[in-house]
Structure 1
Amino acid sequence: MLSPSVKKDIRCSYENLKAQLQNFIPRKAQNYLVAEIAKTLAGEYNPKRRIIVAEAGTGIGKSMAYLMGAIPFALNNNKKVVVSTATVALQEQLVEKDLPLFRRVIPREFSFVLAKGRQRYCCAEKLASAAGAEGAGQQTLFEQKPKRSDIDLINTMHSALSRGKWDGDRDAWPKTIPDHIWQSIVSDKHTCHSGLSAHRQCPFAKAREHLDKADVIVANHSLLMADLELGGGVILPEPEQSLYMIDEAHHLPIVARDFSSAAASLLGASAWLEKLNQSASKIANAGDIKRSGRFLDSLQSGIQELIPSLRSVRDMLRQLPLSKDGVYRFENGELPEAVVAEAKDLQKAAKKANQSLGKLHDLVAERLKDGEIRSSIADPVMAESAFFLQRLENLEKVWTLMAQPNSDKGAPLARWVEQCPERESDLIVHVSPLEIGWRLDQLLWSKAAGVGLLSATLRALNSFTYFCRQVGLDENDGTRFLALPSPFNYQENARLVVPAMPCEPQDEKFTDILPDVLFEYLEGQTSSLVLFSSYWQMNQVADKMRAQIEKNGWELHVQGESSRSMILDAHRKCCESGKVSVLFGTGSFSEGLDLPGDQLTNLIITKIPFAVPTSPVEEAHAEYIESKGGNPFLQIAVPEASKKLVQSAGRLLRKEHDSGRVVLLDRRIISRRYGKALLDSLPPFQRIIEYT
């Protein structure tokens, strides 16, 4: 049950929020969402399953709702709140706007911090070494010989860090730091030796101190998965002590799947293993050869097993008939017996080499901590061994997954090989899970003190079933489900127009007829966004329409011709000055694009956003569903298209008094059996269906 103190804090926060904001509009759906989140976290619905899945339409104010529902409960129950987002834009909104506002209205003090992964921070030791490096030292620290400008930049960064003018955060440096420089100074878990006094000045260690003390941590889905894959509580607070508010939750399944995937080249791996073999004695000597000799022998033995096996697998796999894209996917994830046998040997050898190098690395760190070796000697050795450790860890993961037998219960792993773009004779081995729900349940749902999964689009075809299948939840497992519609008046303020078209999008003439149709629906409009299914089609149409658009005195802004922010700024300036502005964009413009009021009144969607399963993972997933007697089109393509179509249509109304129309140039929404379900999943626009 919610305690009286939590209820009081929530009520007080809400009253203060009303007083703080001018033109505050009370929203029943927002109040309901606050209450449902708080009651779910308190275990009122299910004390063993404190999970809520909430689809909250545009205009409800879901970010303020979950802050108001979760933070008072956390502060009263000695828990942390971890807010995870998919985009930088939402992180910035939370840290710069929503959380400072909520801190002003809640009657309790709380602290918040933006969490970043270790790779966003420099290593103070590496930076110091790089700043002082000359000659041979530079060759050790840098993969390529640094230019004068590189050295000047490193010296400037070192000076700024030493004087406290920079905190070591890559994003806080005023200019872009080139990747080749950043890789030479980036913090990594292997060289971050906490036993050293200098470690207290490590930028990542300082950031971790802020994380440990903060009540609310804002992270992203990638960092969340990185922490969970490490067991939880390594980067972020422990799951058992955390209330997770996962915003933009529809992105979580893909991020989780990518984190469980792995890839490695064959000849490329052989090449760096040979370099490691050459450096092994140097690393062992730095760790005291008397103590490290047996680990050196084991490491070199592992490398000598790995290199010929990798070449042998390459020779086997080169016999496979690659597609025109240079890819071969193993049907049902099943490998030839000879490859399975090699995979098992490679997994054992990679594990042996990885563990042995880890022991050598630890011995060097131990000697450094005990003062038996100078940091000027140890640091470059540890940086080098850390580089190889990361590669060995990945190699072990690849071959562990490749050697893993398929389960009779769940989906098989997707396994495929790809032509290496840098080396024609080389192949890259890929392995990825098809379904990640069981893993999320294992790492998060079964451990967390409480979870909220939120987004404006979680349902597909008006149902949570597809999302549940993706993330390992069940509509009958005690999880709380809510679908809260947008408070906007779609019937009065917006129309959905489906024109009479000469043909449907799959017809080869469709791209040719688009310019004439688009001119008809752009005429008389001041601010338009046209969403295309592909860059190719968008550019074809733009080329044909550009001269006439300019002749009409309109401005055309095409995605890809400059940065996203520059294109949107140019569009907004046109709208402010009364010029007719037309935006052309692809799928990435259908989400996260905020053009309120007069900035967008005419949205044209050229086709239902069906995704063709082109990646090996998507092909393997479709194959698995077919093997179970299912229909991949109806079970994957239609639900995904439903979500994307709702997201696309959601670009039109962003504020309560916005108005305009959506024009869908795809007749399949009324001519196909699945069309009605897609149409009914859209907001309740006034519908105008045209017939010839």
Structure 2
Amino acid sequence: MLSDALKKTIRQTHQHIADNLEGYHPRTSQNYLVAEIAKTLAGEYHKSQRICVIEAGTGTGKSLAYCLSALPLALAKKKKLIISTATVALQEQLIEKELPFFKEHSGLDFKFDLVKGRQRYVCVQKLNAALNEDMVQVSMLPTLSSPLSDMEQKCLRDLQSAYQNKKWQGDRDSWADTIPDKVWNIIACDKHACQRQMKSHHLCPFHLARQKMAQMDVLVINHALLLADLELGGGKILPELDESFYVIDEAHHLPHITRDFSSAAATIKGTIDWLDKLLKFSGKMANVIVSQKAIGQNFKLNDAANDANKDLRVVRDILDKADFNYNDDDTFRFEHGVVPESLTDKAKDISDATLDALRALSKMHDALTLDVSDGDVKPYLADPLLTESGLYINRLEQLNKLWFSYASKGESTPHARWIKRLEYKHHHDHLLCDCPIEVGYYLKDKLWQECAGAVLCSATLSAMGTFDHFSKESGLRNEPGVKYIKANSPFDYPNQATLHLPVTEKDPTDKTFSDYLASILPTYLNKEAANLVLFASYWQMDHVVKILRANHWKILVQGEQSRDSLLKAHKSHIDSGKGSVLFGTQSLSEGLDLPGHYLENLIITKIPFAVPTSPIEEAQAEFVQSKGGNPFLSITVPDAAKKLVQSCGRLLRKESDSGRITVLDRRLVTKRYGKAMLDTLPPFKRQID
């Protein structure tokens, strides 16, 4: 329960911020959010399940709301506050602007930091080794296919000099210039080679950052790092789950990122090749390890890798002879995720063999790590071996994950499984893929039932007027105590914007719609103002661009230059008093901030329906149908409704903004689902011709 003292702290904090925030004025919706988040995390709605799901419209000030409520509560309860985002832009906003302001003016004493995955940090030992000519050549790394160029070697020297002179802290993002992937892959920290208990690594930037993390009250992370911690059991990278309050900002991304994180893939012939290389490498590694146990583990590793290779060759022959009906994209999907018995039998054997190989190699890796710590093996000899064994461990983990799933029968969680045929100049291969269709159970078991409390927020979490779709995707459906909240935007929508649905002669399903679009678009573009036109596909956008440019229209097109330079050019045109026409696809409908006169005319060419062409989407639709559902109404329409809200959300970014939205898709009026979509949009002034 919220104590009177805590209520007083929250009120005082709110007042401090109000007094120091320029242009601040009380917002009913923001005050409502502050109260509801505080009540939820304090356990007023449910004693153990302290979770709220918040849809907060643009301009609500949700980040300030969760800081005002969750932070005082976390400090009082001695919990960590972990804020997870999906985009770098929001992380930067929190770290560089909002949290520093909050710390300075809230009256609360707290420390905060950005937490990154270890692959964003340099391993100093690897950096020094890469420039040490006497050391074992880094070219033994499987990731380095050719020697470094002069430019790449200069980059290494510059990095080392800057780090030694304390001009660089050792994380990739703070380096002013671009670090080539080839260079970074050699020197990046990894969990297998760069271990804190080894003297040569305990001062590496990643380990220093993790030590610093223990002193922090607020940690800003991304969803990928959150999932990496959950996969390890929770509390391994980040603080313990039951000692942490989580704010999942941009929460609408979480289910899809979880699904991608839970997938696995591996080739057949490619795997056979690297398993052969592993056999040679393990002997080299065993010769360096002092412990006699390494010899026994090396024998076990060899036996297991040979068994896996033998079975993979059988699978290779099965797939070469199989009469699968591959589509135009050289992909074949197993209906309902059911794999033929000829493959499942071998999958069980490969799963067992790869697990045995993984255990043996991990023990060899740990033995060599111990030898270095004890001073029995020199770091310059061990580091390249530990780096390479770490790469093989990661590959074995992925391989085992794939084949364990392919061997599963009668599973409760549906999976999409498919094969992609790969054609090379002199040979071919098969890529086997696996992905769970539903991941809600994973988030429920690993996160929601373990954490001290959680706030999930976004501008688009509901679809068609309910939270049902998101609650199912995220594992919160039917969970007791979960509070669902909608906070309305403070915008005066009817007076700030008009939503126009003109009469159109062609439907978006018509084959000639793209040509028709090119002919009518000039009618709705304003050459004197800032225009954004959003397309549902790159193909259609490119088609229209060619026609309009042939008629002398100057257009900025997504994909023709970087996003930053595209937006700079757009803003430059507007600042110089010219108009600007910016064309983009769905990815520009989210996270694009063009306030005021930088966007006054938004055109949406069609409802952003996803075409279920990927094996995962096809499997999802198949699963819904098998349960008697309608995949179009239960998946496609809710997803499109959320995307449409996001697209319309580009126009108004501040309470002083104004403009016009034109949607060239009459299905919003003529179809029953279209009218439901229309009702989920903000209450713009409507002009329906």
What TM-score results when the alignment is normalised by the length of structure 2? 0.97
Higher mean alpha-carbon deviation, 441-450 vs 21-30, is at 21-30
- State the SS of the aligned residue for 1:429: strand
Q: How does 1:214-225 map to 2 (within 5 A)?
A: 214-225=216-227
User: Relative to structure 1, is the Cα distance of residues 97 and 421 closer, same or farther in structure 2, using a 3 angstrom cutoff?
Assistant: farther
**Shift of residue 487 of structure 1?**
1.1
**What is residue 638 of structure 1 aligned with on the other side?**
637
**What is residue 266 of structure 1 aligned with on the other side?**
268
- Asked whether the equivalents of residues 263 and 430 of structure 1 are also in contact (C-alpha less than 8 Å), the reply is yes
User: Relative to structure 1, is the Cα distance of residues 134 and 199 closer, same or farther in structure 2, using a 3 angstrom cutoff?
Assistant: closer
**Shift of residue 136 of structure 1?**
5.7
Higher mean alpha-carbon deviation, 468-477 vs 328-337, is at 468-477
Selected match of 1:433 from 424, 431, 436: 436
**Shift of residue 400 of structure 1?**
1.2
**Shift of residue 396 of structure 1?**
1.1
CA distance in 1, matches of 2:328, 2:23: 59
Instruction: Give the residue type in structure 2 aligned to 1:337.
Output: E
**What is residue 65 of structure 1 aligned with on the other side?**
65
Instruction: Give the residue type in structure 2 aligned to 1:416.
Output: W
CA distance in 2, matches of 1:523, 1:117: 45
Percent identity among equivalent residues? 48
Residues 1:307 and 2:309 aligned together: yes
Instruction: Give the residue type in structure 2 aligned to 1:593.
Output: L
**What is residue 162 of structure 1 aligned with on the other side?**
164
- State the SS of the aligned residue for 1:255: helix
Unaligned regions of 5+ residues in structure 2, if any? none
- State the SS of the aligned residue for 2:201: helix
Instruction: Give the residue type in structure 1 aligned to 2:563.
Output: R
**Shift of residue 192 of structure 1?**
1.9
**Shift of residue 156 of structure 1?**
2.1
**What is residue 384 of structure 2 aligned with on the other side?**
380
**Shift of residue 567 of structure 1?**
1.0
Selected match of 1:327 from 326, 331, 351: 331
CA distance in 2, matches of 1:144, 1:356: 30
Displacement over 4 Å in runs of 4+: 421-424
Residues 1:280 and 2:282 aligned together: yes
**Shift of residue 383 of structure 1?**
1.7
Provide the aligned C-alpha RMSD in A: 1.4
- State the SS of the aligned residue for 1:583: strand
**What is residue 578 of structure 2 aligned with on the other side?**
579
- State the SS of the aligned residue for 2:102: helix
CA distance in 2, matches of 1:633, 1:83: 34
Residues 1:493 and 2:496 aligned together: yes
**What is residue 182 of structure 1 aligned with on the other side?**
184
CA distance in 2, matches of 1:468, 1:322: 35
Selected match of 1:339 from 327, 340, 343: 343
**What is residue 597 of structure 1 aligned with on the other side?**
596
Selected match of 1:530 from 520, 533, 539: 533
Selected match of 1:513 from 506, 509, 516: 516
**What is residue 614 of structure 2 aligned with on the other side?**
615
Instruction: Give the residue type in structure 2 aligned to 1:30.
Output: Q
- 1:394-438 CA-to-partner distances (Å, cap 9, x unmatched) read 11111111112232xx44211111123657511111000000000
- 1:83-118 CA-to-partner distances (Å, cap 9, x unmatched) read 000111000000011101111222221000001001
**Shift of residue 6 of structure 1?**
2.1
- 1:497-553 CA-to-partner distances (Å, cap 9, x unmatched) read 111101110101111111221111114651111101111111111111124344xxx
- 1:581-624 CA-to-partner distances (Å, cap 9, x unmatched) read 11111001111111111111111100000001111011001001
- Asked whether the equivalents of residues 9 and 107 of structure 1 are also in contact (C-alpha less than 8 Å), the reply is no
**Shift of residue 486 of structure 1?**
1.0
Q: How does 1:3-152 map to 2 (within 5 A)?
A: 3-133=3-133, 137-141=137-141, 142-152=144-154
- State the SS of the aligned residue for 1:198: coil
- Asked whether the equivalents of residues 14 and 105 of structure 1 are also in contact (C-alpha less than 8 Å), the reply is no
CA distance in 1, matches of 2:236, 2:291: 32
**What is residue 647 of structure 2 aligned with on the other side?**
648
- Asked whether the equivalents of residues 525 and 602 of structure 1 are also in contact (C-alpha less than 8 Å), the reply is no
Instruction: Give the residue type in structure 2 aligned to 1:535.
Output: Y
CA distance in 2, matches of 1:545, 1:116: 44
**Shift of residue 237 of structure 1?**
1.0
- State the SS of the aligned residue for 2:52: strand
- Asked whether the equivalents of residues 37 and 452 of structure 1 are also in contact (C-alpha less than 8 Å), the reply is yes
**What is residue 486 of structure 2 aligned with on the other side?**
483
Instruction: Give the residue type in structure 2 aligned to 1:328.
Output: F
- Asked whether the equivalents of residues 529 and 583 of structure 1 are also in contact (C-alpha less than 8 Å), the reply is yes
**What is residue 292 of structure 1 aligned with on the other side?**
294
Residues 1:356 and 2:360 aligned together: yes
CA distance in 1, matches of 2:436, 2:135: 46
**Shift of residue 375 of structure 1?**
1.4
**Shift of residue 317 of structure 1?**
2.1
CA distance in 1, matches of 2:78, 2:84: 20
**What is residue 473 of structure 1 aligned with on the other side?**
476
Higher mean alpha-carbon deviation, 537-546 vs 139-148, is at 139-148
Instruction: Give the residue type in structure 1 aligned to 2:531.
Output: S
Instruction: Give the residue type in structure 2 aligned to 1:603.
Output: L
Instruction: Give the residue type in structure 2 aligned to 1:7.
Output: K
**What is residue 451 of structure 2 aligned with on the other side?**
448
Residues 1:628 and 2:632 aligned together: no
Q: How does 1:396-411 map to 2 (within 5 A)?
A: 396-407=400-411, 410-411=412-413
CA distance in 2, matches of 1:414, 1:557: 38
- 1:153-186 CA-to-partner distances (Å, cap 9, x unmatched) read 2122122222322221011112111111111111
- 1:628-654 CA-to-partner distances (Å, cap 9, x unmatched) read 111000000000010000000111111
**What is residue 562 of structure 1 aligned with on the other side?**
561
- State the SS of the aligned residue for 1:200: coil
User: Relative to structure 1, is the Cα distance of residues 108 and 558 closer, same or farther in structure 2, using a 3 angstrom cutoff?
Assistant: same
- Asked whether the equivalents of residues 122 and 186 of structure 1 are also in contact (C-alpha less than 8 Å), the reply is yes
- Asked whether the equivalents of residues 227 and 236 of structure 1 are also in contact (C-alpha less than 8 Å), the reply is yes
Instruction: Give the residue type in structure 1 aligned to 2:546.
Output: D
CA distance in 2, matches of 1:110, 1:358: 40
Instruction: Give the residue type in structure 1 aligned to 2:421.
Output: Q
**Shift of residue 134 of structure 1?**
5.3
CA distance in 2, matches of 1:117, 1:419: 33
**Shift of residue 197 of structure 1?**
2.5
CA distance in 1, matches of 2:605, 2:388: 52
CA distance in 2, matches of 1:645, 1:292: 59
**Shift of residue 475 of structure 1?**
5.5
Question: Aligned pairs, how many?
Answer: 684
